[in-house]
A and B are shown apart, each in its own frame.
Chain A
């Protein structure tokens, strides 16, 4: 079973968010990368782009499939992991670390309360939340 860090928030689409004040760092979970298999391509937005809660902000592709990335929160992209498109395998090897994708400045921090806790997310994946 994939580890689910306790200090992160999660979506049912298998993204994580690390909230720090009005900023949130975003990536996909260990469970998600296991389901995807070898990640070979990542497409991320540019700094300054606006993202909306549960709308797509990018794409991740494994050998077999294309998957949309969903923004856990609404805001503006203030940082992008520029290394990731060159080393997409980091999504597999270190999904919560060097596999991070973007940092956003939240426009409605209250949205964070609606995200899943680690315990709730663990329950989701234990119930076969893959799609």
Chain B
């Protein structure tokens, strides 16, 4: 279980996270929603250890993630970045097999390549794609490769940062479906940050809304409609007028 307790984080004079509290149970698919600049990505980076919180605690199964051997935690994580973040200098299969060929549990190049091809197939890509370089792929294909890389080492917890941003609605639907299928198939815990409501409805077991660096609402996916929470209702209905001020 991931537990986030009273986490604060600020950059110069900008208080991004102002006491975030959240719990994500094992095997649960949690989606964090919220407008741009509400601290979703910063929270994700704090959980991954890419940023250190100013105060508060983030624990995984009772152990603080920013203390002790970080590699032990990272070995349990998989991550799909917003723009896939594939390594330009490596071929697609080398990107997917990156973690498999390095570290204490590294496997042979041929075995890693076989696993990479299998994972590419799992996300709907042909084995020939493995020989290409990321720059030769479309945005949707890059996302799929990023997903294949995230699941290659069979992580227990997978993070998805804006998985459908920049994709057309059909490709977004394909990615949402793949995420849902893979998370269920692997029995993994998933944490997704997005402001795409179709993603929320496809992926989430539980939804948390962040606003001004704090949790504004949290509940199960079936509780999302008619909550009476004006912030949440404005966000999911996409109204320009309401308690959330749009930055113009």
- Are A and B subunits of one complex? no
